[in-house]
Amino acid sequence: MPDPPSGYEAEADDQRWMRRALEEAAVAGELGEVPVGAVIVRAGELLAAGHNLTHTLGDPTAHAEAVAIRRAAQASGHWRLLGCTLYVTLEPCAMCAGAIVLSRMPRLVLARLIRKPACVARWPIWCAIPS
């Protein structure tokens, strides 16, 4: 894993925001979706949230991370999500990992890695897994 960004300190709010991502995952589960949730935070404020909507929308790209990234870009008025942290309940797939990199988000916090490494282990971004 790469070194953390310069000036990085463990965020006291990581668990709070991960709980919010888990709430999004629960909404996905209630809809019959794979229960994955994501939230994007900038400067301690919620910028966007999302959960899986692939079945609901009939859209194979409507993963929690992609939904949250689209909403964050719309809310911020820019596709570059500099200074943001993405909290997601499951390790991102290749598509979502690519979207995270393209959005320029510098920090990712995961609730859980999957058994077969997806993309995070091979990708140069600082990831935190709160205990």
The identity of residue 53, as a single letter, is L
What does the alpha-carbon distance between residue 129 and residue 131 come to, in Å, rounded to a whole number? 6
What does the alpha-carbon distance between residue 55 and residue 108 come to, in Å, rounded to a whole number? 25
List 24, 33, 65, 91, catalytic entry: 65
Burial class (CB within 10 angstroms; exposed 0-12, middle 13-18, buried 19+) of 123:
middle
Are 39 and 68 in contact, with CB atoms under 8 Å apart? yes
Catalytic site includes residue 91: no
Cite the active site residues: 65
